[in-house]
Structure 1
Amino acid sequence: MSKTIVQPVGQKRLTNVAVVRLKKHGTRFEIACFKNKVLSWRSSVEKDIDEVLQSHTVYTNVSKGVLAKSKDLIAAFGTDDQTKICVEILEKGELQVAGKEREAQLSSQFRDIATIVMQKTVNPETKRPYTISMIERLMHEIHFAVDPHSSSKKQALEVIHQLQKNYPIKRSPMRLRITISQQNFPSLLEKINAWDAEIVSKEESGSQLCAICEMDPGIFRECDGLVRNLQGRLEILAVSVHAEGDSGVDHFDELNEESLPSIPKEHTDASVLQLSDTLQKQSVSTKSKNVEGEAKQSKCSTCNALVGDAKQYREHFKSEWHKHNLKRKTRNLPPLSADECLGDLEVGCSSKDDLKEYSF
């Protein structure tokens, strides 16, 4: 004999509800609020309590519609005034969100953290920031998990510390103006050299000396204390300094079997020939520049080579030669010359072993 499922007839379900929960005096109390209104109330954007609460009623379980008993309210809050209790729960309670809302909130905070990391870091080679998409990919690589109860800035600093262990990335320096007497400047200069900071410019004015320098933000407090002890003045000109130029941001280049499509052999040969022409032009321009004067040369520390003036220097960072050596650097391998890079690409770029070697 089949059983008939009996559905409740008079049950009124609470839908589109944001639940705020507070545990007090050993009892859990809940209130039903409108979605997206709780945070507005807590940030003082919303002033009308009726626009936040769906009802001036305190529950022990909102989803089941179980009301809180008066004796429990008096024991926990000292009163049975439902409106006052609702306000206290609204201010001190924990907001319960659904799965999709929680996922959207974590995704938004993940993006905020990646944005802060991008603003506070640079490529140590080019002194330019990485793209936001690359920062997010690296955060996934280190299996970073967002803590919704911690600030985005604090978590961003933790991400930077973790990324520095595996990838070429560093904090972007601060730019400071330090005004100090000339007799105390040698003591300051000694500390600046010890901090590995850089003095951008100096200007003397009577017995005072004004120096603009760039240093790691981590030593700002120590520098501020030293300048105060030397009776100087410290001003912050820029919290984060990035290199200026035509190209905006730098990329880590991915190289793995999943991201590479299958390329016909004739296309591969054409790419190698194109790379050969590019490397040859770079080599010729470098030699001609050496004849004109070495003072104007720009050196790429990744490739350990002089690559010409500022324009040629920027073009070099887009070349396959630099990209190939950058991948080698992430694997702690020595750089290759232009000819060695060309030969390495001709014989090894299509092999799976090399693809696995350079993959993150």
Structure 2
Amino acid sequence: MVDVDKAVIARLKTHGDIFEILVDCENALLVKQKRKENFDDVLASEKIFSDAKKGIFASEKKMQEVFGTSAPLEVAKIILQKGDLQVTAAHRSKETEEKRRKILHYIHRNGVDPRTKLPHPLKRIELAFDEAKIKIDDHKDSMEQVQEILKKLQLILPIRFERKQVEIRIPAQHAGRCFGAVKGMAKIIKENWENDGSWKGVVEIPGGMQNELFDKLNSMTQGSVAIEILKIEEA
């Protein structure tokens, strides 16, 4: 059972009544997001409250009327699924940082310096984030914020999103091993296995992935891979 002193409240307002339970914040969120099924380490108490702070219990009659059952565990599951969950300051801070990292890596992966056509180092983008005083919106999904953040970064850093079409030729002795790397890092537009066992293909990559892909293939083939950029488009 979860420590009551560390528990937060999940609350459901329905049928003119309030039903509350005490839960572990992290585990309750996992269940609510359908990333966890086990309910054992979610509840701090198997009591259903009408006011958890005052210790006032919900009536079994009301629970039966509203939920069709007065079994605490079944009612608790409904409250968590349909109700609102208080989130701790520590969890909010953790979620904000996770969103920030996700946005940073997306911009690093897709963005290039339009002057050089090469990606900016991640650290440079992070410094621009700080310089632009960019705030992450807790109420928006990470990807919903990317374009707005990109515009703010562009006031400080020359950067834009690009996609590149690249032709790759891999010699036969490296083709099998390198194919997996290509498939994992790029979208294959067309490909052909040549009679000599070599592989030739045209792939699409985010602009910021260019160096990573090229360096990896050069390392895996001891520099014998042939790479040519065919087309660059603003994304």
> What runs of 5+ residues in structure 1 fail to find an aligned partner?
1-12, 177-199, 202-234, 249-360
Greater strand percent: which structure? 2
Give the 4+ runs in structure 1 shifted more than 6 A. none
C-alpha distance in structure 1 between counterparts of 2:124 and 2:56, whole Å: 49
The equivalent of 1:25 in structure 2 is 15
Normalised by the length of structure 1, the TM-score is 0.42
The equivalent of 2:229 in structure 1 is none
C-alpha distance in structure 2 between counterparts of 1:110 and 1:22, whole Å: 31
- Give the match's secondary structure for 2:9: strand
Which segment is superposed worse, 159-168 or 116-125?
A: 159-168
- Give the match's secondary structure for 1:172: strand
The equivalent of 2:139 in structure 1 is 149
- Give the match's secondary structure for 1:20: strand
- Give the match's secondary structure for 1:83: helix
- Give the match's secondary structure for 1:114: helix
Normalised by the length of structure 2, the TM-score is 0.61
Of residues 106, 109, 118 in structure 2, which corresponds to 1:116?
106
Of residues 231, 237, 262 in structure 1, which corresponds to 2:203?
237
Query: Cα offset for 1:78?
Result: 4.4
Q: Equivalences for 1:257-296 in 2 at 5 Å? A: none
Q: Does 2:68 match 1:102?
A: no
C-alpha distance in structure 2 between counterparts of 1:238 and 1:64, whole Å: 60
Whether contact under 8 Å (1:37, 1:52) holds in the other structure is yes
Query: Cα offset for 1:170?
Result: 0.3
Q: Equivalences for 1:193-232 in 2 at 5 Å? A: none
- Give the match's secondary structure for 1:86: helix
C-alpha distance in structure 2 between counterparts of 1:69 and 1:236, whole Å: 67
Query: Cα offset for 1:99?
Result: 1.9
Of residues 72, 80, 85 in structure 2, which corresponds to 1:90?
80
Whether contact under 8 Å (2:161, 2:207) holds in the other structure is no
Whether contact under 8 Å (2:11, 2:85) holds in the other structure is yes
Tell me which structure has the larger Cα radius of gyration.
1
Provide closer, same or farther for how the CA distance between residues 124 and 84 of structure 1 changes in structure 2, counting only shifts above 3 A. Answer: same
C-alpha distance in structure 2 between counterparts of 1:76 and 1:157, whole Å: 44
Whether contact under 8 Å (1:175, 1:240) holds in the other structure is no
The equivalent of 1:57 in structure 2 is 47
